[in-house]
Structure 1
């Protein structure tokens, strides 16, 4: 989550997904039963694969696991990190039923007939943007001219930069892109990079804690089509067709986890820290405080997705020649497996009252 370059590896492997999707089967780990509910019913083992290392984008999953929401839904959920093929490949092939992805990746996958489907928007609005130390003087997109950009090597980077620089009379050809490899944001800027594309909720908050203030240009502020969902929770079409009860149960419990994190950011942070003790507790606490109100934001409920958001970003990608053909946005996502907003709020309020005593 240090820079957005981490999420593009999945796009490189989409051609591989096309080969393995037809023959891929869900792993035995997600078919077995381990443990039981309080009434003795066996739990179904299920895996969910992260997009990257654990962070506050994922807190709701860890809350649902720790608070017993998955168990109440009849599930024994194991949260895993992606293998070399990436989360999208694992989910699209049926190796695991659920994963964390991004609207960008799902859009690319859908136009290549890869059967990924987004089940929920983890964060309602795009919290990513171009960040620079304040001493670099990048106060507007035009100020990127003559500066060095820490790139990860995706065509979408220059397209987004061009889109926002065009609004300010800037010339993207005057930006020097430098591949920063495995370097994180802070290492890159110390080696001379002027700006990079980050998620503010993690790297931006870390900069605050380090006392290294940033100028942040959120991409959504320059085009409504760039206010896309990132990240999202995904499954594949076969999972929805063959086991809709599992999808419903998983999403019901996960929604409760995120609702709890929205209502209880400090306690939710403690749960993430307990589950992943290698994380910096101060960073997790500060990040969670910043991100919790942004999970749902102005949506009627957590996770809700709009077809206009999917269509708008896909149309932008197509016009930028980042897609070979237009996207059928209606098939890229579904809200059908989200629980009702009232039910989720009631359940988490009850839990919150109990744990507070």
Structure 2
């Protein structure tokens, strides 16, 4: 949630992070969103939310199993130069599709950006509060130092959780973390981390000792779709070839995510070559923790308009968006496979 993937809990130091980013081609803001391939067909860009990680296993399985080609589309997966790239570049038509999050999508759409979720890739909440020690609860946070990703959404969300448990911001010490949450927590520099992932940081920390992982929707934050696929709504309405591409890409992703869920080993094999900074055992455990979260009881990609309305209302009530906004206006299920 809230782009917490912009922080690498597995990598120490900004210099190492820069090296990792250098291995991935960021999209050119001045360039076209589609390019001709060597075969003369069009190659479309799918922009990730951050460096390849276990959340993206279904995408890379779709690539490995040629699911995009089977749908007749050429898709180039790219890594962003920053996590704010998705909404801006979708809105301006510089890229075709992007991975984002429900909260970020609502926030961008409420600000007037041309962005719309077209499929929920991970329909469950992964963002979590992780606290040192076993069987901890929110009430244990009083007097603790809490590390957060330093995003605009971090403190308002934490303050909402604290308020529901009879506390205020002054009851804790907040620290903005620049190099991820795992190492500061292990080193005792913070007592808890807020806004990190149960399937990534939670798995890493479980290998190191006793920590309590509390997903956001279990501590007073409404449920939301953690990972979504976003497109440009104006282009969807005005460009039939773009709309067809989006529909076919979602169909390909449906196959890739289903295969990843059914075979975690295949999911690991697909993501391992591109997921940097993790040891093999930890990455395999992360993948095993992630792929069950792909399951959507309403069907692949499905999103609940009422839930998006509810989450947008909560965002407004907690100061995350300036004015009331219908969350359902930031999503559509029109392009999902039958």
Gaps of 5+ in 2: 8-27
Verify the 8 A CA contact 1:130 1:195 in the aligned structure 2. Answer: yes
Mapped contact 2:90–2:98 kept (Cα < 8 A): yes
Report which of the two has the higher share of helix.
1
- CA–CA distance in structure 2, aligned partners of residues 309 and 334 of structure 1: 13
Distance in 2 of aligned mates of 1:120 and 1:97: 14
**Residue in 1 that maps onto 2:317:** 319
- CA 1:168 to 1:217, structure 2 compared with 1: closer, same or farther past 3 Å? same
Is 1:6–2:6 an aligned residue pair? yes
Query: Which residue matches 2:200?
Result: 202
Deviates further, 196-205 or 273-282 = 273-282
Alpha-carbon distance in structure 2 between the residues aligned to 1:68 and 1:312: 38
Alignment match, 2:54: 56
Q: How does 1:202-351 map to 2 (within 5 A)?
A: 202-209=200-207, 211-223=208-220, 226-241=222-237, 242=239, 243-276=242-275, 279-297=278-296, 299-340=297-338
Residue 162 of structure 1 aligns with which residue? Answer: 159
CA distance in 2, matches of 1:238, 1:155: 27
Contact 2:49–2:99 (CA<8 Å) still a contact in 1? yes
Structure 1 residues 316 and 290: alpha-carbon distance in aligned structure 2, compared to 1, 3 A threshold: same
Counterpart in 2 of 1:68? 66
Cα shift at 1:220: 0.1
What whole-Å deviation, never above 9, does each CA across 1:282-313 have from its counterpart, x for those lacking one? 2222112112111124x221221101221111
Q: Give the 3-state SS of the residue equivalent to 1:201 in structure 2.
A: coil
Match of 1:30 in 2: 34
Distance 1:277 1:150 in 2: 23
Partner SS for 1:181 = coil
Deviations for 1:42-77, whole angstroms, at most 9, x for unmatched residues? 643111111111111111111111100111112221
Q: Which protein is bigger by CA-based radius of gyration? A: 1
Closer/same/farther in 2, CA of residues 43 and 268 from structure 1, 3 Å limit: farther
Alignment match, 1:178: 175
Inter-partner Cα distance in structure 2 for 1:73 and 1:5: 29
Q: 1:110 to 1:280 in 2, by over 3 A?
A: same
Summarize the alignment of residues 7-156 of structure 1 with structure 2, pairs less than 5 Å apart.
Answer: 27-28=31-32, 30-35=34-39, 43-84=41-82, 86-134=85-133, 139-156=136-153
Q: Offset of 1:229 from its aligned partner?
A: 1.2
SS at match of 1:74: coil
Q: How far apart are the structure 2 equivalents of 1:215 and 1:168?
A: 17
Worse overlay, 225-234 or 256-265:
225-234
**What is the CA distance between 1:226 and its match in structure 2?**
2.3
Q: Secondary structure at the match of 2:122?
A: coil
Deviation at 1:138, TM superposition (A): 7.5
Shift of 1:129: 1.1
8 Å contact from structure 2 (residues 88, 113) kept in 1? no
Greater RCO between the two (CA within 8 Å, min separation 6)? 2
Against the structure 1 CA distance between its residues 133 and 162, is the aligned structure 2 distance closer, same or farther, given a 3 Å change threshold? same
CA distance in 1, matches of 2:4, 2:37: 37
Query: What displacement does 1:329 show?
Result: 2.2
Give SS of 2:44's match: strand
1:239 and 1:49 map into 2 onto residues whose CA distance is: 17
Q: How many residues align?
A: 312
* Structure-2 residue corresponding to 1:351: none
- Assess, with a 3 A threshold, how the Cα gap between structure 1 residues 114 and 94 changes in structure 2: closer, same or farther: same
Over 3 Å counting, the alpha-carbon distance change for 1:45 and 1:131 in structure 2 is: same
